[in-house]
Chain A
Amino acid sequence: MSILVDSNTRVLCQGITGYRGSFFSHRAIEYGTKIVGGVVPGRGGQKHLTLPVFDTVSEAREATDATASVLFVPPHAAKDAVIEAIDAGVELIVCITEGIPMLDMLRIRERLSESDSKMIGPNCPGIIAPGKCNIGIIPTSIYQPGRIGVISRSGTLFYEAVAQLCTDGLGQSTCVGIGADVIQGMAFTDCLELFRDDIETDAVLVIGEIGGAAEEDAAQYLASENFPKPVLGYIAGRHAPPDRRMGHSGAIISAGLGGAERKVEMLRDAGVTLIESPVEIGRTVRRVVRR
C-alpha cells in the first residue's frame, strides 16, 4: 500500500507534447508508471511517445480509464485545464505548473471543494511511491521503497531529506511534494490523514518552511487526532530575515501565523519530533523509528 498512487494508477499527461510534458512522461514510463495517454487540445487522434493523444480530458478518461492526471501546461491555461480534469472526474490531479495567478488558484480551490478530486500542487515536484509509480518531476534515482512517508513543501529540500533517509537505510512508502505556493491543493493535513491509515507507513516526515499556515494546521490536526504514528518535522527558515511589509492588512490576518518559531512550538506541542539541523534529518528519523 501507499497513499494516493500505487502500481495500478493510470495516469494522463495534460500537455504531453510540450518539452517538459514529453520529457517527464518518458521518464515516468521508464520508471514503470502507467502513463496511458495525453491531452492536448487540437492534437486529438495523434500519437506521442507511442501513446494516444486526446483533445479533452473526458474523452481521454473514457478511452483509457485513467484515474490521475499530471499537468505540464502554461500558467495562463492552467485554470481551465485543472477544472476540465475536475469536471471529467479525475481522482488525483498533479499540477506541476508554476506561476498560476492567485485568483485562478482561488477559483480552482472553490471547484475542488465541490468535487471528489484531490490536487497536489501547483508549482510542486509531484508524488512518488518508490518502485511503483512516479508522477511529476521528482529525480527518481534518490528514492527507495520502504516505510517512511514524506510530505514536503520545498522541492530541493525534499530531495535532500530523502537522500539523507536513504543514506541512513530508510526507504519511503510514499513521498508527496505538495509545493510551497500560497494557495495549493492538498496540504500537510490532507496527506497526514492518508498516512495515518496506510499500513505500509510506520512514520511520517514533514518538511515545512516559514510562511503560510500549513504547519500550524498540521499541528492542530495532530494534536486533536492523537496521531498513531511517530511524526518528525523540519522547518526551514528559522533564521530567515523578516519579509518586507506594506500596510497593515498582512499583520492583521497573520495574527502571529507564518513565523518559524510558532510553527516549531505548535508542532512540538502536538508531539512532533522537531529536527533542529538540516543535516540531521536522516539520522533523527532513524533514531525515532528504531526506538
Chain B
Amino acid sequence: MFVHEYQAKNLLSRYGFSFPSGEVAFSADEAEVAASRIDADYWVVKAQILAGDRGQFGGVKVARTRAEVTTLARTLLGSRLVTPQTGAAGLTVKSVYIEQGCDTDREMYLALLLDRYRRELILLAAASGGSGIETKIDDSAQPVHRLAVSVDAPPDQDNLAELARQMNLDEFLASEFVEMCQQMHQALVELDALSIELNPLAVVGGTKLVGLDVKMELDDNALYRHEQYAELLSLNQESDRRLRAQSGYNYVSLHGDIGLLVGGAGLALATMDLLKLNGLEPANFLDLPPIASRSNVSDACETVVQNDSIKALFVNVVGGGLTHCDTVAEGLITAHMKSKIKKPIIVRFAGTKKEHGLTLLRNSRIPFEMANTMQDAVELLMKIR
C-alpha cells in the first residue's frame, strides 16, 4: 500500500527526520486555516495523489501570500492530475498538503527499500536528486550509490560514513546523513515499510538535512501488526486503481471487450496473452483468491459484467488445490440469478471437480457455452466477435 506524502511524513516524524512544517487540507477552508498556522515567507501547496512526478505536471504550486494558498488549494482540489506515473486517466486530487516554503542549498536523493530483484534491503543515495533520477544511473558523473543492509542488524557505521563521503558532504552534514540513514532503517523495520524515498533530500541553511518530499510503501502483508494502518487503508482505498475488493480478488480494468474471470494470476496472465495472440482484447485482469468461495466467484463475476463494454465473459478455471470447478460453477449460477447476465458466457473448466462443475452448469438451464480447452474457448470468442 502506498501512502500519501502527508501520511508518510506523519509516520516518519517520530523517528527524528526533519520536514518543513505542514498540514493536510481536504477543502479550501481547511487550507486557509492551515496557512494561518504555518509561519513562512512563502508556502507550497502540494496535491496529494498516490503517484510521483507531481512537480513538473502541475501538482505542486508556490503561494506568495496566505490568500494565494486558499486559491491554489481550491484549484487543485477535485482536479485530475496526469503525470507519467498516474496512467493516462490521471488521479483525482482529494487533499492538498500545505507546507512551509524552504530555500535549499543543495538537493540529494536517499532511499531505503526492498530490492525485489536481488531480494535484499538496499540504501540508494545520489549526490543530486529530483525527478528523473532513474535516468541518471548510467551517468558516471551522477552515480547512484547502493549499500545492502540487513533487516535486524543496524547498517554498518563505516559503510554509512563511506556513503556520506561519496555524497560530498562536509563533516557536520556527513554525521547528520549517517544518523538519518540509521533512522530510516529503524523506521522501515518498525513500520514494515517496503520503501522510504526522500527525494529531494535538501541541505537547508548549510547545516540541516530536510526531507522535502517522501514516497513510502507499506507492506500489505504486515497490516495485521499495525492497527494504525486501518485508517490509512480506508482513506486511500478509493484512489487505488488496483481495486482489491473485500472478497480478495485482484481486478484491474483494461480497454478491451472480453471480460475475464480466471483462477490464479499466472493463468490469468496466460489467458490475456492467448487473447492478444488471437487478436482479442481483454476488458480486465481478474484473478480469483487462492481459496475462492461461491460468493467470491459470484462477486467477481458481477464486477466483470458491470463493465458495459464487454461483449462476452470468459471463465477459465483449472481446479487446483484450493479452488474446485464445482464451487466456481455455483458462483457463476448465483451471479446469473442475481443480475441476469445477458452477455455470452464461455466456460472452460479443467482439473479438480471439472465434471461436477459442468453438470451443475448444464442443469442450471442458463445458456453457458462450454469449451474443453483454452484454444476451443478462444475460437468460440472469435465467433462472437
Residue of B117, B262, B320, B351 near A258 (CB, 8 A) is B117
Binds A, one of B36-44, B131-139, B164-172: B131-139
The reply to whether A110 and B222 form a contact with Cβ atoms under 8 Å apart is no
Beta-carbon nearest neighbor of A109 in chain B: B119
The reply to whether B51 and A103 form a contact with Cβ atoms under 8 Å apart is no
- Kindly state the separation between the CA atoms of A255 and B122 in the bound complex, as whole angstroms: 15
Residue of B151, B215, B352 near A103 (CB, 8 A) is B151
Interface residues of A in 14-58 (CB under 8 A from B): 20, 24
Q: Check if B264 is an interface residue, CB within 8 A of chain A.
A: yes
- Kindly state the separation between the CA atoms of A212 and B115 in the bound complex, as whole angstroms: 9
- Kindly state the separation between the CA atoms of A239 and B119 in the bound complex, as whole angstroms: 25
Q: Check if A244 is an interface residue, CB within 8 A of chain B.
A: yes
The reply to whether A241 and B252 form a contact with Cβ atoms under 8 Å apart is yes
Known interface pairs A156-B263, A180-B265, A279-B374; A248-B133 also in contact (CB < 8 Å): yes
A200 proximity list for chain B (CB < 8 A): none
Beta-carbon nearest neighbor of A98 in chain B: B290
- Kindly state the separation between the CA atoms of A106 and B272 in the bound complex, as whole angstroms: 32
The reply to whether B52 and A163 form a contact with Cβ atoms under 8 Å apart is no
The reply to whether A276 and B119 form a contact with Cβ atoms under 8 Å apart is no
Listed residue (A103, A139, A276) with the most chain B CB atoms within 10 angstroms of its CB:
A103
Beta-carbon nearest neighbor of A126 in chain B: B321
Binds A, one of B66-74, B173-181, B191-199: B191-199
Known interface pairs A101-B219, A249-B195; A244-B350 also in contact (CB < 8 Å): no
Q: Check if A61 is an interface residue, CB within 8 A of chain B.
A: no
Q: How far is the CB of B297 from chain A (nearest CB, A)?
A: 14
The reply to whether A246 and B50 form a contact with Cβ atoms under 8 Å apart is yes
- Kindly state the separation between the CA atoms of A166 and B162 in the bound complex, as whole angstroms: 57
A278 proximity list for chain B (CB < 8 A): 270-271, 273-274, 374
Q: Check if A266 is an interface residue, CB within 8 A of chain B.
A: no
Residue of B195, B269, B320 near A236 (CB, 8 A) is B269
Q: Check if A142 is an interface residue, CB within 8 A of chain B.
A: yes
Interface size class of A (residues with CB under 8 A): 35 or more
The reply to whether A237 and B269 form a contact with Cβ atoms under 8 Å apart is yes
The reply to whether B350 and A160 form a contact with Cβ atoms under 8 Å apart is yes
Q: Check if A1 is an interface residue, CB within 8 A of chain B.
A: no
Give a binary string over B133-172; 1 marks a CB under 8 Å from any A CB, 0 the rest.
1100100000010000011100000000000000000000
The reply to whether A248 and B273 form a contact with Cβ atoms under 8 Å apart is no
A107 proximity list for chain B (CB < 8 A): 151-152
- Kindly state the separation between the CA atoms of A250 and B378 in the bound complex, as whole angstroms: 35
- Having A210-B269, A252-B133, one finds 18 other A-B pairs with CB under 8 Å, namely A106-B151, A107-B151, A156-B318, A157-B270, A158-B266, A159-B318, A159-B320, A163-B318, A183-B119, A234-B270, A237-B270, A237-B272, A240-B272, A246-B50, A246-B51, A248-B197, A255-B137, A278-B374
8 cross-chain CB contacts under 8 A: A156-B317, A183-B114, A207-B266, A244-B51, A246-B85, A248-B134, A249-B197, A279-B375
**What residues make up the interface of B, taking CB atoms closer than 8 Å to A?**
2, 50-52, 85, 87, 109, 111, 113-122, 124, 131-134, 137, 144, 150-152, 189, 192, 194-195, 197, 199, 215, 217, 219, 221-222, 224-225, 241-242, 252, 254, 262-267, 269-277, 285, 290, 317-322, 350-352, 373-375, 378
